[in-house]
Amino acid sequence: MGHSPAAVPAVETRDLKRVFKGSRGSPEVVALAGVDLRIERGEVFGLLGPNGAGKTTAIKILNTLLYPTSGEARVAGHDVVREAAEVRRRIALVSGGESSGYGILNVRECLWMFSQFYGVPRAEADARVDRLIETLGLKDLAKTRINRLSTGQRQRMNFARGFVSDPEILFLDEPTLGMDVNAARELREFVLTWVRESPGRTVLLTTHYMAEADMMCDRIAIIDRGRTLACDAPSALRRAVEGGQHVELEVLGVPEGLADVDGIAVTWGAPHPERGTHTMKLRLADGGQLPLVLRALDARGVSVRGVSTRETSLEDAFIAIVGRGLDDSEAPR
Amino acid sequence: MSLAAALPAIEHRPRHTGARLFAHAMLARMYVRIVGSLREPTWMIADAIFPNLGMCAFVLLYRALGAPRSYEALALIGGVLTTYWINVLWGMGAQLYFEKMQGQLALYFAAPCSRLAILSGMALGGLVATLLRSLVGVAIGLWVFHVQVAPFSPWVLAGVFVLTMVALYALGMTLSSLFLLYGREAWHTANALQEPVYFLSGLYFPVRTLGALGATAAGVLPLTLGTDALRQVLLGPAAQGLLPLGQECLALAGFGVLFLFLAGRAMAYLEALAKREGRLTQRWQ
């Protein structure tokens, strides 16, 4: 149609829906309830949401692994259902904790094998595999069998696999899962360098680590229960909930189902079983509300063991939009 | 980490498509099989020695009973083909199920190469690897037991062998998709098929001894026809052939075409099912 590749968005979805049939009498599950996304070329785009939000379903549809129930999804301008072959030539997928490759092969052979599944010509494949092995710190392991790699080393190799075909659009589904801090930081830097080096490259990232999304992503879509709740730059998402004071209280003796304190919504962080306490998160209009909250909790028999305040973070924005944190429970039991 | 020396300096060439992509993907998957068969010495022993023990037992049994020498050759040919049948069942039929359990199936489905290229690579790699193992059986038969064969044309032997392998591995390619549909039952399905097919294929006895009805029923198995055809080439009339050699070759060629067609259809069905239900690329379902 005369559009240059740069003019075509990397990913575009319109009213994308996916419903899974229930098995053995269980009700059907609405994984995506009408998601609209537009990811431009050159972006590092984050998809954030709690467990079951629909992130992996969306990634599978965009990688031609799943049909949508309705709606439309296009990758590099190609429909994921009708033009799946065209889509596959342009993408690569790396999932955290995956176990790609065969244990009998060494790292170099495994990366070469996948390059051949993507049709990379031999000379380019050899050069690219060697360069990836060197750049991602796998040089000493190049001839080590995969079944002898540690989890972190294997994850590095999986990560390298995503780049052997030099895709236009790279899907990273929890790519640093299980990695140590330094390795995760190096890989994040590698991805950002890779994207910036060529204008056509795009990354769609799902992650459980807010800091990772904040550091890497140009824009983030927050989804929950199959719907897009917000989509903007991390700074813009933070600005939207700025103002007021973010307070975290470590509390003991919480009444079951406590959802607000004098009308101020409460979200819950992970419990501290060793101390028998829970983390209660509140966003106060101003500092003057804090004594009132403490008194209200005291009146309900809740013992406050610690108080902390901080700047607005992406997590605050996420909580304000979704109503709970990525790993938070709905309420303590 | 030297990010400055990252990837863009590499000359980016157009990707292979069509037949070249098919060939490259097939060779890459074939490479895994061949490396796998050579790199692990314990596998060599398990794959090359153990399957031939049954053949040795039958050769010794026929010898102890004073059966004609041609019966020893029947058992040798059957023993050699046993290694291929085991490979077809476990290395082809059950392989996609194992790939799914590894989480690898999704990566195949997301790659631009044909799934048939992957299956063909598995088949060719399995064939080459098993060829090495089957030669151990031939060596045992000829040099340890001094099994005798009649004069034969190597070209006819090669032709019949190729037809047999195409039919067998095409069947394996079809089974790989069908086994996957059974999910966790793949192990049981493979086990259930192993011994009955050994029996019906007459791997260690002339298939004619099953009687007319049994032999006709067994004749629908490519392994039966392949075994019988190879025996006819190597033993002549002593093979007690089921059908004339030409007819068996035609039937094997037909089986090859049929099973290759079915393999393509089964894989397309499987992929559509995976996308529709979203469960075949999940490890635990």
Considering only the beta carbons, identify the residue of A67, A100, A135 that sits closest to B107: A100
Name the minimum distance, in Å, from the CA of A78 to any CA of chain B. Answer: 14
In angstroms, the CA B30 to CA B18 distance is 18
* Structural domain that includes position B93: 25-277
Mean pLDDT over each residue of chain A, to the nearest integer:
86
Reported as a single tens digit per residue, the pLDDT across A69-103 is: 999 999 999 999 999 999 999 999 998 777 777 88
Nearest of A250, A270, A268 to residue A259 by alpha carbon: A268
Name the minimum distance, in Å, from the CA of A138 to any CA of chain B. Answer: 11
Reported as a single tens digit per residue, the pLDDT across A134-172 is: 888 888 999 999 889 888 888 889 889 999 988 999 999
B276: which residues sit within 8 A by CB, 6+ positions away? A67
Name the minimum distance, in Å, from the CA of B213 to any CA of chain A. Answer: 44
Closest CA in chain A for residue B36: A104
Listed ranges A242-246, A267-271, A322-326, B192-196; the one with the highest mean pLDDT: A267-271
| pLDDT class of A59 with cuts at 50, 70, 90 | very high
Across B128-147, average pLDDT: 88
The conformation of residue A148, written as its DSSP 8-state character, comes to G
Give me the number of domains chain B comprises: 1
Chain B residues 40-59 with a CB less than 8 Å from chain A: 40
A126 touches chain B (CB under 8 A): no
Q: Where in the sequence of chain A do the CATH 3.40.50.300 domains occur?
A: 5-238
Q: Quick check: ipTM above 0.90?
A: no
Chain A residues whose beta carbon lies within 8 Å of the beta carbon of residue B11: 124, 127
Inter-chain residue contact B21 with A119, CB threshold 8 Å: yes
Find where tokens 């025996």 sit. B231
Q: Where in the sequence of chain A do the CATH 3.30.70 domains occur?
A: 241-322
Asked whether the predicted pLDDT for residue B285 surpasses 60, the reply is no
Whole-model pTM? 0.81
The conformation of residue A106, written as its DSSP 8-state character, comes to B
The answer to whether residue B11 sits within a structural domain is: no
Fold designation for A241-322: Alpha-Beta Plaits (3.30.70)
Chain A residues whose beta carbon lies within 8 Å of the beta carbon of residue B275: 64-67
Inter-chain residue contact A166 with B104, CB threshold 8 Å: no
In angstroms, the CA A277 to CA A304 distance is 9
What CATH number does domain A5-238 carry, 3.40.50.1000, 3.40.50.300, 2.40.40.20, 3.90.245.10? 3.40.50.300
In angstroms, the CA A283 to CA A306 distance is 16
Inter-chain residue contact B16 with A119, CB threshold 8 Å: yes
Chain B residues 7-36 with a CB less than 8 Å from chain A: 7-17, 20-21, 24-25, 27-29, 31-32, 35-36
The answer to whether residue B8 sits within a structural domain is: no
